[in-house]
Amino acid sequence: MQLKEIKKMKDEIEQMLNDNKAIDIVSINLKNKTSIADFMIVASGNSSRHIQALSEILIDKLKEKGIDNCRLEGRESKDWKLIDAKDIIIHIFHPEKRKFYDIERMWSELIPKERLTI
């Protein structure tokens, strides 16, 4: 996908999360930080059932949009899900786990160029 399409998809994912009552949705631009994705979206659900529902809704909607090869990590976890939508990574956490891992801070910091490659 081109960057313009990726940004549009990011906005649509954020809207899907918002429409389904996700909490504290944050988007992080990963440009010049890593080659694994262009954006990371972090959100919280208010219960394990809500987190599961959000992840299932997102995967279904992404498939409808033609992104068939999404992967779901944390399938058995009640506190965290990760959806790898190739150019966009979506984390959905229970608020306590999100605070503990604090990935927004980790990925928002500038990374020295010598540590960019994974």
Greatest extent of the chain over all pairs of C-alpha atoms, in Å:
41
State whether residue 21 is helix, strand or coil: coil
d(CA 91, CA 81): 6
Q: What local confidence, expressed as pLDDT, does residue 86 receive? A: 86
The residues, ordered by sequence, that sit 6+ positions from 10 with a Cβ below 8 Å of its Cβ are 27, 38, 39, 41, 88
The residues, ordered by sequence, that sit 6+ positions from 14 with a Cβ below 8 Å of its Cβ are 25, 27, 41
> Domains, the chain, ranges and CATH?
3-106 (3.30.460.10)
pLDDT digits (tens, 9 = 90+) for 6-20: 999 999 999 999 999
pLDDT at 25 over 80: yes
pLDDT digits (tens, 9 = 90+) for 27-46: 999 987 888 899 999 999 99
Q: What local confidence, expressed as pLDDT, does residue 46 receive? A: 95
d(CA 2, CA 73): 25
Q: What is the reported pTM?
A: 0.87
Average predicted confidence (pLDDT) for the chain = 89
Tokens 């779901």 belong to 72
